[in-house]
Chain A
């Protein structure tokens, strides 16, 4: 029996981070998922971040589980218990353990160098030896080593093993042999640590009741569900990380809910296109033909789609683009997160184009805003960008269970029926009959009177070809007004007031939300009070502008190098740019509060100096 730590002074209950270093392709994802979900099922809020390489097998990958009794939504940046399962990264993993923390490693082979740090405790568990003695097959040994560390971590931190067992049973339902093997491996790790280290770590998971009514879900899955509930029937795509799982989700939900059990007919169509030049064209074709159509992609895909985006904008075809952003430029860091396509999407395509964007902050908003995106696209007859990112899209987030209101009816916008066309003396596609900058559209095949010619070339309000300056300008100006009007239709900002009056504020968007809220708490503890506005749509509404007007110093927190949100605020509002201070994080990691606290305090210190 060994003592792990000499003092129990810093007992930390439900407030620490487990970070597991693995080799990609060794089946560690399900082991890490088990750990995270077991904590969640114990009623303790969790934040999970998967840090994976652009690789199928062999490169290092990490998984962070933040146990957070306060239900913070961001990474903390700490690593209190590092499970080092990848010899390649031992050095880095050792260095990353937070002071006072722990390193768990496989001591089948002695690793004296892992005991080099005096401010942390290294814990050896002979995972390979234990598994090799129990399992014959090489692949099984690798997989079971993962389960063995699940058992060890559970034993050391007090995660309820009966919950893990229930999950293993769910996972392998009809395959009792697999349940047995996995439980055997889990118990190997568990028993070993219990015997060797009878005193658990001061990092402790204790049952709470703070996750009831919540789910653990990733944003792409939630957005896919939103597409289904919005009544989208057509999706075209070309595979690209991190958007692929959105279409995978849409497909699996449609297979579940939209296939006629008798005829086998599918009430949806998914086309895997030859490239993004085509996937957007397909979505535009389907939108033009009256279906709710979408395409999920990421930055490189948006670049290829550019010309069609301008076409759809100018010819007024509704279509929804899900941009699951990843770090650029070029191929960039395809498995890392950023908010780096704000400028690109705001003005995508050549010529005078401006688009509508929605900025979900978490999977709950992904579900909600996916539905809104289709409503807005059809109401305004234009492309809508749903701007999510890898962090939101691919990580599991704890959110309140999704709700649906059965009274929802899609806002199809102005589409003329055959009967309405029959009544009409003459139909003109771009006639602003209602004076609200939105013309009426017709669906092909409905009525001969509804026929019109859709063109990306210069057209007048009748839809006819024109090169006439005044006629061209008339349509273009209406498009500007239409876009401006959409500011009131996109989701409004969320504003959180500080507990004391202040003329300072933070503006942020999307997945930074969790980190900002936590930073606000920390800064308030230091006496720095800040109001907070999270923008959720573009164009910016009057409320966004008013918020900026009422503050003298505003930190604009975002995840890109070039302060793109700040740029849009300056470009599209009358704000005095000198009061917008950029706080930027663009290294590709999910946002954590540290960079915000640092950015804000550094500025304030400089100001005082």
Chain B
């Protein structure tokens, strides 16, 4: 089967500041199962990028292998994408980002891709504070290889055949927090109103931004007894904090006075407005974030929203003192020491 393109019927669609419609941010037709959570994440990404008025080719999409990782083909057909090898998207993102930090790097991965084969790369990208949005489309199973439990499967969750998982799960958000990520969020593919602003905030965060999106697999993990099904997630879904992302300072002034709101200024100018719920949760407190997630585990509640944010961390570019002009754009003349320098250098080997 070849990739399909979609019919164009975008005459009456609204346009953003670049005079583009959402259609300009779409990719080729999805080949995932109807109802797959991953398609909703794709739609949220399209909307988030369109709303931010970002030129599509200012993004680079990178993914590993899995149903989730396939989705980089399904959004922003006008950006470069690279669908590499299983579990190793972070390394490609690292190299790509190092030589041109001016693009928005969007990494798409799955729970298998990130928490088993790619666990090391996931961890080390966080340690390097790679400036990217890392979307982990978490369904508790390996979709593409037909439903084996993944490392995010909860204890007691049942496979389609009714067998319970007995191994303890890896929580990517807890991992990211302990590894020092500066932006950690959890969302649900079924709640776009929460996911879209989180994606926008994650894109604007300067550093590693993880969004762990519960994204049910309708084919292999959406049955009764599964803790990653739509029904289960809707039932236990608990937003800790509401996030609004406003791209420009001016537009937010009227709202900031609202009681209990926390505002966080993002590196690239936007503002995050975090409205507290009853929980009195402060996403600037890393210890509280970890504690809350671990407690949530016990109550069964799936605690979502922007769990932690820290805008003051040096990203990989800063730590490596990389130049303003991307490495891939430096002219050769700026890179070669030249003939005379070589002659001089060799004194040490005589």
Residue in A281, A286, A450 whose Cβ sees the most chain B Cβ within 10 Å: A281
Q: Is B94 an interface residue (CB 8 A)?
A: yes
- The answer, yes or no, to whether A269 is at the interface (CB within 8 Å) is yes
Stretch touching chain B among A460-468, A586-594, A596-604:
A460-468
> Does B155 count as interface, using CB distance less than 8 angstroms?
no
Q: Interface residues of A toward B: which range? A: 35 or more
- Is B91 within 8 A of A234, CB to CB? no
Q: Which residue on A lies nearest to B335, using beta carbons?
A: A231
Which residue of the partner chain, among A214, A258, A406, contacts B335 with CB atoms under 8 Å? A258
B53-61, B156-164, B183-191, B209-217: which lies at the interface: B53-61
Most buried by B among A225, A233, A401: A233
Q: Which residues of chain B (1-56) have a CB below 8 Å from chain A? A: 1-3, 28, 55-56
Report whether B95 and A444 are in contact in the complex, using a CB–CB cutoff of 8 Å.
Answer: no
Complex Cα distance A236/B130, Å? 15
Known: A234-B95, A285-B92, A293-B95. A451 touches B100 (CB 8 A): no
Confirm or deny: B323 has a beta carbon within 8 angstroms of a beta carbon on chain A.
yes
Minimum CB–CB distance for B148 against chain A, Å:
20
- B105 CB to closest chain A CB (Å) equals 10
* Partner-contacting stretch, out of B77-85, B168-176, B237-245: B77-85
Contact residues, A244-290 vs B (CB, 8 A): 253, 256-260, 263-271, 273-275, 277-290
Within 8 A of A (CB), among B312-334: 320-324, 327-328, 330, 332, 334
B218 within 8 A of A: no
**1/0 contact string of A22-43 vs chain B (CB within 8 Å):** 0000000000000000000100
Give chain B nearest CB distance to A69 CB in angstroms: 19
Q: From B1, B3, B328, give the contact of A233 (CB < 8 A).
A: B328
Among B93, B100, B342, the residue within 8 A (CB) of A445 is: B100
Contact among B2, B57, B330 for A468, CB-based, below 8 A: B2
Which of A215, A264, A287 touches B346 (beta carbons < 8 Å)?
Answer: A215
In Å, the complex CA distance between A288 and B85 comes to 14
The smallest beta-carbon distance between B156 and chain A, in angstroms, is: 32
In the complex, what's the smallest C-beta–C-beta distance from A456 to chain B, in angstroms?
6
Known contacts A266-B320, A308-B84; A233 and B338 CB within 8 A of each other: no
| Contact among B58, B92, B99 for A291, CB-based, below 8 A | B99
B127 to chain A, nearest CB (A): 9
Query: Counting CB contacts under 8 A, is B146 at the interface?
Result: no
If the complex has contacts A285-B93, A454-B80, are A467 and B1 also in contact, measured as CB distance less than 8 A? yes
Is B179 part of the binding interface, using a Cβ–Cβ cutoff of 8 Å?
Answer: no
Which residue of chain B is the closest to A412 with respect to CB atoms?
A: B332
**Which residues in window 446-485 of A have CB below 8 A to B?**
446-448, 450-457, 460, 464-468, 471
Asked whether A215 and B85 contact (CB < 8 A) given A281-B95, A291-B327, the answer is no
Known contacts: A266-B323, A290-B99, A444-B79. The answer to whether A278 contacts B91 by CB under 8 A is: yes
User: Quick one: closest B residue to A405, CB to CB?
Assistant: B339
CB–CB B91/A281 < 8 A = yes
Please determine whether B56 and A448 come into contact, CB atoms closer than 8 angstroms. yes
Bound CA span A447–B337, Å: 31
Enumerate chain A residues within 8 angstroms of B82, measured Cβ to Cβ: 285, 288, 315, 453-455
CB pair B93 A454 closer than 8 Å: no
A448 contacts which chain B residues (CB < 8 A)? 55-57, 78-79
Which of A217, A257, A460: most chain B Cβ within 10 A?
Answer: A257
Minimum CB distance partner of A215 in chain B: B349
User: Which residues 286-335 of A sit at the B interface, judged by CB distance below 8 A?
Assistant: 286-291, 293, 307-308, 311, 315
B50 CB to nearest A CB, Å:
14
Is A288's CB under 8 angstroms from B92's CB?
A: yes
Q: How far is the CB of B67 from chain A (nearest CB, A)?
A: 13
Q: How far is it, in angstroms, between the C-alpha of A444 and the C-alpha of B79 when the chains are bound?
A: 7
Q: Is the Cβ of A307 less than 8 Å from the Cβ of B332?
A: no
User: Which of chain B's residues has its CB closest to A282's CB?
Assistant: B95
B268 CB-CB contact with A under 8 Å: no
A278 touches B96 (CB 8 A): no
Instruction: Check B292 for interface membership: any CB of A closer than 8 A.
Output: no
B84 touches A231 (CB 8 A): no
Are A457 and B83 touching (Cβ within 8 A)?
yes
Residues of B within 8 Å of A404, CB to CB, are 338-339, 342
- CB-based contact A286/B57 at 8 Å: no
Contact yes or no, B321 A444, CB < 8 A? no
**In the assembled complex, which residues on chain B have CB atoms less than 8 Å from the CB atom of A471?**
2
Q: Is A409 an interface residue (CB 8 A)?
A: yes
A456 contacts B84, C-beta separation under 8 Å: yes
Assess A286 versus B83: contact at CB under 8 Å? Given A229-B342, A464-B3.
no
| Alpha-carbon separation in the docked complex, A426 to B143 (Å) | 35
A448 to B90, CA, bound (A): 24
Q: Could you tell me the distance between the alpha carbons of A215 and B343 in the complex, rounded to whole angstroms?
A: 11
Q: Which of B79, B84, B321, B342 sits near A402, CB closer than 8 Å? A: B342
Q: Given A233-B335, A445-B57, answer yes or no on A271-B327 (Cβ-Cβ < 8 Å).
A: no
Cα A446 to Cα B56 in complex, Å, equals 11
State in angstroms the CA–CA spacing of A216 and B123 once bound together. 42
Q: Given A445-B80, A451-B79, A453-B73, does the pair A274, B121 have CB atoms closer than 8 Å?
A: yes
CB-nearest residue of chain A to B323: A265
CB of A254, distance to nearest CB on chain B (Å): 9
Quick check: A229 and B349 within 8 Å, CB to CB? no
**A451, B77: Cβ atoms closer than 8 Å:** yes
Contact of B328 among A289, A307, A410 (CB under 8 A): A289
CB-defined contacts of B97 to chain A, threshold 8 Å: 285
Q: Does B103 contact A (CB under 8 A)?
A: yes
- Contact at B91–A444, with CB atoms within 8 Å? no
Residue numbers in A under 8 Å from B124 (CB-CB):
273-274, 278
Q: How far is B55's CA from A208's CA once the two chains are assembled, in angstroms? A: 68
Contacts of B249 in A (CB 8 A): none
Q: Are A267 and B327 in contact (CB under 8 A)?
A: yes
- Whether A257 lies near B337 (C-beta < 8 A) is yes
B298 at interface by CB-CB < 8 Å: no
Instruction: Tell me, rounded to whole Å, the shortest Cβ–Cβ distance linking A261 to chain B.
Output: 13
Contact A451 B349 (CB under 8 A): no
Contact A281 B121 (CB under 8 A): yes
CB neighbours of A408 from chain B (8 A): 336
B223 within 8 A of partner (CB): no
Nearest chain B CB to A109's CB is how many angstroms away?
39
A258-B335, A289-B100, A445-B60 known; A233 vs B327 contact (CB < 8 Å): yes
User: In the complex the two chains form, what is the Cα distance from A269 to B321 in whole Å?
Assistant: 9
Who on chain B is nearest to A454 by CB?
Answer: B82
Q: Compute how far the CA of A41 lies from the CA of B349 in the bound complex, rounded to whole angstroms.
A: 10
Whose C-beta in chain B lies nearest to the C-beta of A221?
B349
Docked Cα-Cα span, A260 to B325, in Å, equals 12
Q: Given A234-B99, A275-B120, A445-B100, does the pair A284, B92 have CB atoms closer than 8 Å?
A: yes
Report whether A260 and B338 are in contact in the complex, using a CB–CB cutoff of 8 Å: no
Contacts of B60 in A (CB 8 A): 289, 444-445
Supply 8 A–B pairs (Cβ within 8 Å), ascending by A. A228-B336, A267-B327, A288-B92, A444-B60, A445-B103, A451-B80, A456-B85, A467-B1
Known: A289-B100, A307-B85. 13 other contacts (CB 8 A): A257-B337, A258-B335, A269-B322, A271-B98, A284-B84, A285-B62, A285-B97, A291-B327, A442-B80, A444-B103, A445-B80, A445-B102, A465-B2
Which residues in B have some Cβ–Cβ distance to A below 8 Å? 1-3, 28, 55-58, 60, 62, 72-73, 77-85, 88, 90-100, 102-103, 120-121, 123-124, 128, 320-324, 327-328, 330, 332, 334-339, 341-343, 345-346, 349-350
